[in-house]
Structure 1
Amino acid sequence: MKALVTAPGNTAVVADVPVPEPAANEIRIKVHSLALNPVDALYVAHPVAPPGRVVGSDISGTVEKVGENVTQWSVGDRVAGFLQGATSGNPRPGAFAEFATLQADLAIRIPASVSFEEAATLPLCSLTAAQALFIRLGLHAPFSHAIDAEKDMGESPAILIYSAATSVGLFAVELARTARTATGKPYRIFATASTKHHQRLLNSGVEGVFDYRSPAWPEDVYKASGGIAGALDCISEDDSAAKISQTFRESGGTIAVIRQSAWHREGFKDKVTAVYSAVWSGLGHEILYNGGTIPASPSWRAFTVEFFKFLSAGSPTDPSRFPISPLPTRLMPGGLSNIVTDAFPLLGSGKVMDRSYQGSEPWLKPISAEKLVYHVQ
């Protein structure tokens, strides 16, 4: 089969690799669509293992073969999921190929009215948002899970989604909107974004949106909210977390950051802490990552299983849709062979705030509140 694999020179090429066989409790899917994430480009430009690894995370397609003991899936079922392609020091499967294998309980059933392109946008970024909100910040989740992470934030606490028009941010807004405190009260959601996205976020249930380019935004958020109780930093670069800390109430709280070392701690408000975790922990394997080892976590994997069941069940008001909205998509021309030349320059291989590439073709305009999606087959 054709797959996108890492190659000498810190790049990736389309190559022929063996079709993977599903092990017990796995399914093989015929990949229809894939969605790009910044880590896909980052770890090709800065490889953590020798060449030859299959690249890529988010995919959707149809079940083509089921392994032993698999009873919840049948050939032809539409599913989505994510893998850890080329982002770890230890060998982990990648997704950007004609076929891929997923563990059966870590696949998402695609509701009837959701396209393959839409479904491919969900797995990695929606799980990142769910882990941040319901494990690290301790919000009361709209689904059952075994991790005792809930924090007493008071009645109708205010939370902040910094850079809410990013993929993780948009999902975080959706999830926070569906959540309720233990006493049934909604969370008050505040956000930062560029001004062109303000109305969209207000329409989605955000109480107040602020322009992150304004030097006064932390003070404005504090005044509007009365003090933030928990925040998700969807950029986590330079002084982003320090600025977010200034929006917190005097009793402090937690900022969930999505990057480990691209931000600094200088200027933090007293009693505000930042907590990092890697979304890959949700796959349940030991991971060699960012120069260290993340132990396998059965509890984080169990959380993923329950969250993916929540997505698979569909919306309570319309089971043909997901309970949260997929991301807007930009369908890119070509297939696997166009990812390195077109998508990777748009994603960049360093800081999100440093992206400057823009090509001459319409599909090469800068990314804004959308996912780059390719068809594979």
Structure 2
Amino acid sequence: MSDHRPVGADFSIHFDLYDRSKFEQHVRQLYREVHALDASHERPTIKIDQSFLDLGEVRYQTRLTKKVVIENVGKIACAWRFVPTQPDSPIHPEWLSIEPITGFFLPGEKTEIALTLHIDSRIASSLNLGPHDMSGTLILHTILGQDHFIAISGEYLPSCFGNKLVTLTRLPGTIRTLTSKELRAENHSLNAPTEFMRLVNWLMGSTTIPQDLFLVPAEETMCLDTGEEFPWPPGSENAAPSYAIAQTLLELLDSLMEPVVPPVLHSRCVQTKSRDEAFELLDVLQPPAVNVWITLTAFLHFICQSSSDPSYPEKIADIFTPVLMKDGPEPTAVPISPIKKRRFILQFIA
């Protein structure tokens, strides 16, 4: 016997009520409209409002949507879909998405197709040192009808974002001004990326560092790809430049294809018990990663010591932990605690 008291409850249920006769009448009407697809000798005919899309100059983190309207100008219903140009090739480039990618419409109906371009760090990594021509052709196939072609044209402007640290240290100049794809020899590579050092040196040269640096998102970030001088000299009394430089530094590190501390070392990092053990672990990092880590953590230690907020080091560690010790694309056998990663970084900056 249960010792629970009886429980009563009222339930409110909402459901749709259909008029069966109207429903069947509507189904018969739709059937008559689409029946001609098989019974008629007519071929489906569609019209595209534009068959050429110019993307212009495409930059890192560009998100651009172009609209194409197709109309069924034939006498019968039409089914359509995008198909690849070759049997084993993708329907569209990886930097492009199509929505919808297939459809069906009746005579006189129109459909708007959104073609969206987005360059994230993963896509940028393949474009930065590869072909910059983004030209291509999309094939819109109509079932039992004629194929239509949409040509796409654009040029990618390479960026220092979305690269590996090793690649950045081997660039012979700013990435936007390169005339060839030749990199420096490994024994002539830089100690740390020029773009990274420009940002840190600007911040170190500032006479006044905001107490909430890195904690407040900037309204703008800096372009590092052309090598042009920053519009403000270090020491500007305006705080906005410091926020912009700090935000750019954070985004540059976050865009690296491999974090400064690779995932394979995370388990060893969180096992360190002291600052000395943590420093010894840096010996297994690649030289560019060591230089970036020491330079960055030294600066973060400086601003943490200069802050009047006792919780500032913890806040900085919260921001930089998922950037400097980002998880890899493949899950590890034993997940690494973000709190332990944060503790490892605090050994350098607190």
The TM-score, its normalising length taken from structure 2, stands at: 0.21
Structure number with higher helix proportion: 2
Please identify which structure carries the higher strand content: 1
Highest RCO, 1 vs 2 (Cα 8 Å, sep ≥ 6): 1
Please say which structure displays the higher CA radius of gyration.
2
